[in-house]
Amino acid sequence: MSISLRTNIVHHGIMKEEALLQFKLLLPAALKKRLETHATLNRRSLSQEIVVALEEKYPAAEPDATSDPAARLLFWLAKRIRRRNPKPGSPRDKQAALYERIAGDIAERMKDIGE
């Protein structure tokens, strides 16, 4: 399998963002070496490792800030699973998606009854 094909699989299959942007990034050599070491240990590309580190440092806003404890717990569990970047379609990925669907359903139902 060619490098470009593997890169496309990684970026389009694992990194699920709708719009991926490519840009030049200058890093200190020692930092790049540490990132490469962690990427190898985590079985990720350097690009994926950088994205994971940035996602942890700058998390996205919660999709729906709900006050229901059950929904909040399920959203939290899904977020913890997704932080480990499960492969698309894997049992862990399906589990996170299920938690998100159930949490969304709970939040909607609580709105319907006047939370």
Instruction: Write down how long the chain is.
Output: 115
The answer to whether the pTM exceeds 0.75 is no
26's CB contacts (< 8 A; 6+ apart) are none
The secondary structure element, H or E, covering residue 56 is helix 46-57
> 60-94, pLDDT tens digit by residue?
555 556 778 888 899 989 989 988 888 877 898 88
